Amino acid sequence: MTATTTYPVPEDARTTLGTPKPFVILAGTAHPRLAADIAMHVGTPLGACRVERFPDGEVAAEIQQSVRGHDVFIVQPMSPPVNDHLVELLVVVDACRRADADRITAIVPYFAYARADKRAGRRVPVTARAVADMMQSIGIDHVVTLDAHTPQIEGFFRIPIDNLSILPIMCSALESRLTDDTVIVSPDLGGVKRATELAENLRRPVAICVKRRMDGESVEVTQVIGDVRDRPCVIVDDMITTGGTIAEAARALRAHGARDGLVVVASHGLLVSGAAERLRGAGVSEVLVSDSIAGESDGALPVTRAGIASLLADVVRRLMAAGSLRDLS
């Protein structure tokens, strides 16, 4: 099936885009279902792209249709295995560039290495900047990501980058789970802004856990600011990797009298290294994340994934029509 599609350009955009341009949506192997859902929402078949790995781990890619003069959207979160999926993105972009694509947009719902945005010592890298340099040098023209861990990564790019918010989607998914006395909790001081925004949208109070990091994998919560006694709590974070920080926050909330059945909400659910079991052991009853990363619950803990395909399909439509993403950010 041919996947070349044109999108009508509004009259007020024709001065910048001219005639309607062909575009195509391609999927890497990190999350092909998300790419297919985006294409379905836009109303186009998914583009023909083959990605293979040799026995030694090298990546090979082939674009199996013409993309000459097209706007190409490549959907590839940097989910585990992070480095494999990053290299795969770069390889697919290079294939599109050599096939004479006009503009290449990388849709990277989860942007890995965003935590490595500064040096913690004199002889360590700023890996987020290194990743940005690789993405720009290979020929990416525009990056779209969701709830990046550190928004300042935008400063590492010389090309346009849009860091959009999943907050409205998570609010809609969470609203039915709330009671009148529910408290929104930030698991650390760094997440206060995120928790406050969610609480304001849901019209609920905020509590804050103050943590002290012991090493790269363990933390200790030293204080809980706010009234959580005999109240249901929702812990909010941008991502769940091992679940260590959230598990400690959950234990601290229970020690301060919070009700059983804690709910955790996060933009990105990596859930590696036994995270689900760790959260269940700390008293968490449910995890709500977006489907920015492919994954299914392993049965250790109920994990609900809220869909982001319609949001990203709207991004594709607006970019094809030279529209603004302001109200999505």
CATH code of residue 255: 3.40.50.2020
Q: What is the pLDDT of residues 291-316, one digit of tens each?
A: 999 987 777 899 999 999 999 999 99
21, 118, 193, 211: the active-site residue: 211
pLDDT of residue 200: 96
- Annotated active-site residue 21? The verdict is no
Query: Are 187 and 322 in a shared domain?
Result: no
Q: What is the pLDDT of residue 242?
A: 92
Q: Are residues 161 and 174 in the same domain?
A: no
Residue 151, judged by CB atoms within 10 A of its CB (0-12, 13-18, 19+), counts as middle
- Answer yes or no: pTM beyond 0.85: yes
154 & 252 share domain: no
Walk along the chain (329 residues) and give the pLDDT tens digit of each residue.
Answer: 445 555 554 444 443 444 578 999 999 999 999 999 999 999 999 999 999 999 999 999 999 999 999 999 999 999 999 999 999 999 999 999 999 999 999 999 999 999 999 998 889 999 999 999 999 999 999 999 999 998 889 999 999 999 999 999 999 999 989 999 999 999 999 899 999 999 999 999 999 999 877 665 667 888 999 999 999 999 999 999 999 999 999 999 999 999 999 999 999 999 998 999 999 999 999 999 999 999 877 778 999 999 999 999 999 999 999 999 998 87
CA dist 147 and 306 (Å) reads 14
Do 90 and 147 lie in one domain? The reply is yes
Are 196 and 298 members of one domain? yes
- What pLDDT is attached to residue 146? 97
Same domain, 154 and 178: no
Ordered alpha helix ranges (H), 114-213? 127-138, 167-175, 192-202
Q: Give the span between the Cα atoms of 12 and 27, in whole angstroms.
A: 31
Alpha helices, H only, 147-191: 167-175
Q: Is there a single domain that holds both residue 129 and residue 140?
A: yes
Cis status, amide bond into 168, omega within 30 of 0: no
Query: What is the tens place of the pLDDT at every residue in 25-68?
Result: 999 999 999 999 999 999 999 999 999 999 999 999 999 999 99
- Tokens 């439509």 -> residue: 317
Structural domain range at position 295:
167-306
Instruction: Assign 3-class secondary structure to 8-49.
Output: CCCHHHHHHHCCCCEEEEEECCCCHHHHHHHHHHHCCCCCCE
Asked if residue 93 and residue 201 are part of one domain, the reply reads no
Same domain, 324 and 276: no
Both 45 and 159 in one domain: the answer is yes
What pLDDT sits at residue 219?
72
**Same domain, residue pair 188 and 144:** no
pLDDT in the model for residue 140: 98
What is the C-alpha separation between 292 and 164, in angstroms, rounded?
12
